[in-house]
Amino acid sequence: MRQTNITAATGDGPVIHTVSSLTAGTTYTFTLFSVFENIRSSGLQLTAVTAPQNTGSFTSIGQNETSITLQWNKVNNNVSFILQFNGIETNIITPTGDGPITHTVSSLTAGTTYTFTLFSVIENVRSSGLQLTAVTAPQNAGSFRSLGQNETSITLQWNKVNNNVSFILQFNGTETNIIAPTGDGPVTHTVSSLTAGTTYTFTLFSVFENIRSSGVSVTVATGPFYVVVLNVRLRSFGQLSESELQVLLEQFFRQYGVSPQSLSLKVRSVQP
């Protein structure tokens, strides 16, 4: 049992005394005696607790567009927690058993930064608290589609989310970072050096503070590439012009289900 002699301070006002070197999260009983000429009063008792330790490893372990999942270590089975953010406080009781505590904060806004403060609590006394900043995933881009293609390239288009959200375009195991342009209007991006007549699947992620959205995908094929050489012998009562030969070739391709508009035709006359 410890005893400390305290001399009353001169002047008016209360006497303040701090007891240090105590153990965190512990209940103490103090007895205060008034002393005159070595004679003590009957004494008054007071029970008080020290603040608990802050938890360790307060981290964000996941998020989507509307929620953030937090995780931290228990202090002990007698310590509960208060999670504070946006002026809201949530009481969290420590579960039984070992292992960390996991808590999901929902109904949040996509692509937004939140600051969480976690207090350890024992006997209604809080720790100093730990802070953590985490973000929700941004919304996916709208209207992700193919705007056009040829034999070796595909042009994609999608709507901006906002000026703070960039994009990652993923296909064939490669990723391309795309910064949203300033101003209004959709984002347009052309993927080149592709193979003719090939189907590609593109996945587009919105990105905010290095956090990706769930992603949207579109499948598009490049146009085919044909090289057709025809050696045509025609018997005619008169000489055919190049435009008349062009018409004959177009009729030929239509017989095989090929639209002449999708081809580049060039007629060359060779005299025997």
| pLDDT band at residue 258 under the 50/70/90 scheme | low
Task: Say which CATH number the domain at 130 has.
Answer: 2.60.40.10
- Please check the confidence at residue 238 and state whether its pLDDT lies above 80: no
- Collapsed DSSP state (helix, strand, coil) of residue 247: helix
Q: Answer yes or no: is 248 within a domain.
A: yes
Q: 190 is written with which tokens?
A: 């052309």
Beta bridge partners of 166: 207
Q: Which residues contact 244 (CB under 8 A, 6 or more apart)?
A: none
Q: What is the mean pLDDT of residues 91-103?
A: 86
Residues 89 and 107 in one domain: yes
pLDDT digits (tens, 9 = 90+) for 100-139: 899 999 999 999 999 999 999 988 899 999 999 999 999 9
State the Cα–Cα distance between residues 175 and 179, nearest whole angstrom.
13
Which amino acid is present at 101?
Answer: I
State the Cα–Cα distance between residues 129 and 53, nearest whole angstrom.
9
pTM, entire model: 0.69
**What secondary structure does DSSP assign to 92-125, as a single string?**
EPPPSSSS-EEEEE-SPPTT-EEEEEEEEEETTE
Strand locations in 192-232 (E): 199-208, 211-212, 216-221
Q: What is the mean pLDDT of residues 44-64?
A: 89
Q: Answer yes or no: is 21 within a domain.
A: no
* Type and span of the H or E element at 81: strand 80-85
Q: Answer yes or no: is 209 within a domain.
A: yes
* 246: region left, alpha or beta (phi > 0 left; psi from -120 to 50 alpha): alpha
- Please check the confidence at residue 26 and state whether its pLDDT lies above 60: yes
Give me the domain span that covers residue 149.
145-221
Q: Answer yes or no: is 33 within a domain.
A: no
Q: How far apart are the first and last CA of the chain?
A: 124
Q: What is the mean pLDDT of residues 243-247?
A: 75
- Please check the confidence at residue 229 and state whether its pLDDT lies above 70: no
Buried b / exposed e along 111-133 (16+ C-beta atoms within 10 A):
bbebebebbbbbeeeebebbebe
pLDDT digits (tens, 9 = 90+) for 184-226: 888 999 998 888 888 999 999 999 999 999 999 999 998 876 5
Q: Which residues contact 257 (CB under 8 A, 6 or more apart)?
A: none
State the Cα–Cα distance between residues 170 and 154, nearest whole angstrom.
14
* Type and span of the H or E element at 245: helix 242-255
Q: What is the mean pLDDT of residues 46-67?
A: 89
Q: What confidence score (pLDDT) does residue 38 get?
A: 86
Q: Answer yes or no: is 12 within a domain.
A: no
Q: Answer yes or no: is 13 within a domain.
A: no
- Give the chain's mean pLDDT: 85
- Please check the confidence at residue 227 and state whether its pLDDT lies above 60: no
Q: What confidence score (pLDDT) does residue 137 get?
A: 94
Q: What confidence score (pLDDT) does residue 270 get?
A: 60
Q: What confidence score (pLDDT) does residue 268 get?
A: 61
Q: Which residue has the higher pLDDT, 110 or 28?
A: 110
Q: What confidence score (pLDDT) does residue 20 get?
A: 83
- Please check the confidence at residue 27 and state whether its pLDDT lies above 90: no
Angle at 97 between CA 96 and CA 101, to 5 degrees: 75
pLDDT digits (tens, 9 = 90+) for 137-181: 999 998 999 988 888 889 999 998 888 899 999 999 999 999 877
Q: 252 is written with which tokens?
A: 């030929």
| pLDDT band at residue 37 under the 50/70/90 scheme | confident
In the chain, the number of structural domains is: 3
Residues 247 and 198 in one domain: no
State the Cα–Cα distance between residues 112 and 206, nearest whole angstrom.
13
Residues 167 and 213 in one domain: yes
- Collapsed DSSP state (helix, strand, coil) of residue 55: coil
- Please check the confidence at residue 4 and state whether its pLDDT lies above 60: yes
Strand locations in 138-221 (E): 145-149, 154-158, 166-171, 174-178, 187-191, 199-208, 211-212, 216-221
Q: 130 is written with which tokens?
A: 């730990």
Q: 210 is written with which tokens?
A: 């290095």
Q: Answer yes or no: is 19 within a domain.
A: no
